[in-house]
Amino acid sequence: MTLRMAISELVRRLPIRQKIVFVAILSSTVALLLTLASFVAYELHEYGSTRSQALQTVARVIADNSTAALSFDDPRAASRTLVALRSESHVVSACLHDEQDRHFADYYRDGDAHVCTRETARLGGLGGDALQPVPITLDGQQIGTLYLRFEQIDIAARLFYYVTIFGFVSLTSLALAFLLARRLEKVISQPILGLVETARRVSRRDYTVRAPQESSDEIGLLVKSFNRMLDAIQRRDRQLEAHRDKLDGEVRRRTARLEEVVDRLRTEVQHRKQAEERFRYVAYHDVLTALPNRQLLRERLELAMRTARRERHRVALLFLDLDRFKEINDSFGHAMGDTLLKHVADRLVGCVRGSDGVTRVERSDEQSTVSRQGGDEFTVLLSRIAGISDISRIANRVLASLREPFQLGSHEIVVGASIGIAIFPDDGVDAETLLKHADAAMYHAKAAGRNDFAFFNESMRAAALQRITLERDLRHALERQEFELCYQPQVSLRDNRIIGVEALLRWRLEDGRHRLPGDFIPAAEETGLIVPIGEWVLRRACEQGREWQAMGLPPVKIAVNVSSRQFRKGAFFEAARAILDETGFPPHLLELEVTESSMLQDEDDVVRTLNKLGEIGVGIALDDFGTGYSSLSSLRRLPFDSLKIDQSFIEDLGVRTEAKSIVSAIIAMSHNLGLTVVAEGVRSESQRDFVRDQLCDVYQGNFFATAEPASRIVTLLEARRTDLPVV
């Protein structure tokens, strides 16, 4: 068992070449041994039978040849015949007996004398084996008998003889087989080794190699199949390569496209970022002067205050207003005004930079920030100051710098400025308060005679406090509906009839007293409360007009004052239209009165809003004409229907000589522009007569009626309906 396993293990381990040799030699040996065995067996058998046959033949011949000798009784001749047996070496003896089976002649191979008797011949014992006795006959008659004895063959010797020969033949055969097997092994193992080599090269991804096909047997078939497989693999490999190339190309193309897209995205992002920066810049900067705007100032101010609080030092805020900017704007136009503002900005920056040695004030400076608040208002923030003297020094330098004439084109312009100064934490601990206080100080400076600076002080603080109280009260008033409207009739100078009323706001206090608009409207404008208050006024006026209509009174226009702050909110038009829709008051009976100062700021917005209102039929009147700087020529561009001459001019009639000419000029020019002219503040008959003589269209004033509650207006209107002249 173990031996067989060992052999099978050995065979399994042997290389094919040795296996082939092994098998060839094994089969040769087996074949040879089989051949030897059968040959020996056959040969031994054959040999035996052949020899006995030969002996029989010899015996027969001897017997035949002995007939004559027996017939003629000649033993000597018989002996001579028997001697011929000498050539048969294995014949031991021959006895020839006569007819009566008596001894006649004999032969002994070894020359020893033996007696041939019938018994010895038959029974043996004389050495060798006895051959069947051969009868000698002549003409059917037995005339004698031949007894032959012969030596038994030596099988062992014979075998040895065969084996010797066979061994030689076997060795030769095996050698031949070995040589043949070696050749054959090459025939078989060579292509296999070729295959192995090819496979090894293929495994190194060289698909172009092919195993050599040297035969068309099974190995040839194997090689062919292998090569076909290689063909397939190569084809597959090429396809794969082609695919991979295609994929690579695709990937490269996609990558390129992606990179392109990424580039575009990057560019886009950059653009966006730039846009954002620009937007941010725009959001935080004044477009005209490129200075930080009020928003950025506020942030800087808060930052500076935080730092100051932490480090326990002071911050100064300078609020600056140009003294004669409105005049310049009116005289030289907005473009010139803008250019002036730019120059002013440059000088301001120069001043601050000069003092602090900061190169880029606007950007990196945490010491000082020059910003534009809007209009001709600027601020200078000084984040880190040593003392009051520092502030004064800088303020003086700014004023001195701005006093220098500006060269604008061919014009040399001189402006001045007033500066208000508020200090953190002394004058306020928040940006809002500081700004307010600086602004207040600036007004003081301006009031004190311009071209100077003023520090915020206690009286200013009291005023400010008062304003804050007022602001709170206003809110309450709006909530508690403490406001009410009075109406002052506007009378046609042509037929002395009431053609309209101006709605005037009254603030009825708890104690029954009224506060006049002049007391609280500025505060309302500053705080922005003017917007809800203005809307309330408009709504109330429209409702009143609708009531009057419902009462069947003759239609009258209602004029409502609109503050510039209301226009600043772009939504005024929408609000007005909504109110008209809700109340059902006809737009053409509504007239909005706008002051000249409204036109100065955000003019485009105002113009756009007014135009839209004009389009839906609302009348627009320019209020307080003559107090501002507006030139009549600029009125052309605006959608005014009427113009109200400021009451100061009417008051002056009869007091100042030039007043008459001014009023008549205004009336004439307005008519030239197609405007209806309203004279305000007519208190006397002479005044009324003068404006009537100057062909003024409408007058308004105490001469006819003061501002009256709505109920009183009803009476006046009813009187008109009866068509009785009022006066």
Partner 1 sequence: MIYKLVKFVVWPEPPSSTAPLHLCVYGADKVFNALTDVARGQRAQDRPLVVRRADERTLGGCHAVFIGTEPRVRMEFALRSLSGRPVLTVGEGTGFTKLGGMVNLVREGRHIRMEISRRALRLGGLNISSLVLALAQIVE
Q: Which residues of the shown chain bind partner 1 in the complex (CB under 8 A)? A: 65, 67-69, 71-74, 77, 80, 138-140
Nearer to partner 1, 76 or 310 (CB): 76
Nearer to partner 1, 84 or 308 (CB): 84
Q: Least distance in Å: CB of 74 to partner 1?
A: 5
Q: Least distance in Å: CB of 66 to partner 1?
A: 8
Q: Least distance in Å: CB of 115 to partner 1?
A: 23
Q: Least distance in Å: CB of 139 to partner 1?
A: 5
Show the tokens assigned to 457.
């002080």
Nearer to partner 1, 136 or 594 (CB): 136
**What separation in angstroms does the CA of 647 have from each of 17, 32, 323, 351?**
135, 155, 25, 44
Find out whether 619 and 591 touch, Cβ atoms under 8 Å. yes
Q: Least distance in Å: CB of 43 to partner 1?
A: 37
- What is the Cα–Cα distance from 65 to 87, expressed in whole angstroms? 16
Helical ranges in 454-569 per DSSP H: 458-480, 517-527, 530-550, 564-568
Residue 511 CB contacts under 8 Å (≥ 6 apart), including other chains:
none
Q: Least distance in Å: CB of 81 to partner 1?
A: 8
Show the tokens assigned to 50.
């052949």
Q: Least distance in Å: CB of 134 to partner 1?
A: 16
Residue 645 phi, psi dihedral angles, 5° rounding: -70, 130
Nearer to partner 1, 66 or 418 (CB): 66
Nearer to partner 1, 136 or 301 (CB): 136
Nearer to partner 1, 65 or 234 (CB): 65
Name the strand (E) or helix (H) holding 486.
strand 483-492
Residue 439 phi, psi dihedral angles, 5° rounding: -60, -45
Nearer to partner 1, 72 or 208 (CB): 72
**How many Cα atoms are found within 13 Å in the side-chain-facing hemisphere of 232?**
5
Name the strand (E) or helix (H) holding 4.
helix 2-13
Q: Least distance in Å: CB of 138 to partner 1?
A: 6
Nearer to partner 1, 67 or 339 (CB): 67
Following DSSP, what letter does each residue of 443-461 receive, concatenated?
HHHHHTTSS-EEE--HHHH
Nearer to partner 1, 139 or 458 (CB): 139
What is the number of other CB atoms lying within 10 angstroms of the CB of residue 142?
Answer: 13
Q: Least distance in Å: CB of 83 to partner 1?
A: 13
**Helices 431-447 and 294-311 meet at what angle, rounded to 10?**
110
Find out whether 592 and 620 touch, Cβ atoms under 8 Å. yes
Nearer to partner 1, 96 or 423 (CB): 96
Find out whether 317 and 422 touch, Cβ atoms under 8 Å. yes
Considering only CA atoms, which of 413, 408, 412, 433 is closest in space to residue 322? 413
- What is the Cα–Cα distance from 273 to 473, expressed in whole angstroms? 46
Nearer to partner 1, 63 or 413 (CB): 63
Nearer to partner 1, 70 or 501 (CB): 70
Q: Least distance in Å: CB of 100 to partner 1?
A: 16
Q: Least distance in Å: CB of 114 to partner 1?
A: 26
Q: Least distance in Å: CB of 58 to partner 1?
A: 17
Nearer to partner 1, 65 or 634 (CB): 65
Q: Least distance in Å: CB of 141 to partner 1?
A: 8
Residues 677, 681, 687: CA angle, nearest 5 degrees: 80
Nearer to partner 1, 67 or 355 (CB): 67
Dihedral class, residue 9 (left if φ above 0, else alpha if ψ from -120 to 50, else beta): alpha
Find out whether 662 and 696 touch, Cβ atoms under 8 Å. no
- What is the Cα–Cα distance from 290 to 702, expressed in whole angstroms? 50
What is the number of other CB atoms lying within 10 angstroms of the CB of residue 412?
Answer: 9
Straight-line distance from the first to the last Cα atom of the chain, in angstroms, rounded to the nearest whole number: 154
Q: Least distance in Å: CB of 64 to partner 1?
A: 8
Long-range contacts of 25-31 (CB under 8 A, 24+ apart): 25/174, 25/177, 25/178, 25/181, 28/173, 28/174, 28/177, 29/170, 29/174
- HEC profile of 296-310: HHHHHHHHHHHHHHH
Q: Least distance in Å: CB of 76 to partner 1?
A: 9
Q: Least distance in Å: CB of 166 to partner 1?
A: 45
- What is the Cα–Cα distance from 517 to 507, expressed in whole angstroms? 8
Find out whether 581 and 619 touch, Cβ atoms under 8 Å. no
Show the tokens assigned to 19.
């296996």
Nearer to partner 1, 75 or 375 (CB): 75
Q: Least distance in Å: CB of 47 to partner 1?
A: 32
Find out whether 650 and 691 touch, Cβ atoms under 8 Å. yes
The residue with tokens 């992002």 is: 269
Is the CA virtual torsion 679, 680, 685, 690 positive or negative?
negative
Is the CA virtual torsion 138, 141, 143, 148 positive or negative?
positive
Q: Least distance in Å: CB of 148 to partner 1?
A: 19
Nearer to partner 1, 86 or 200 (CB): 86
Nearer to partner 1, 14 or 77 (CB): 77
Residue 635 CB contacts under 8 Å (≥ 6 apart), including other chains:
622, 643, 673, 675
Nearer to partner 1, 82 or 599 (CB): 82
- What is the Cα–Cα distance from 446 to 341, expressed in whole angstroms? 19
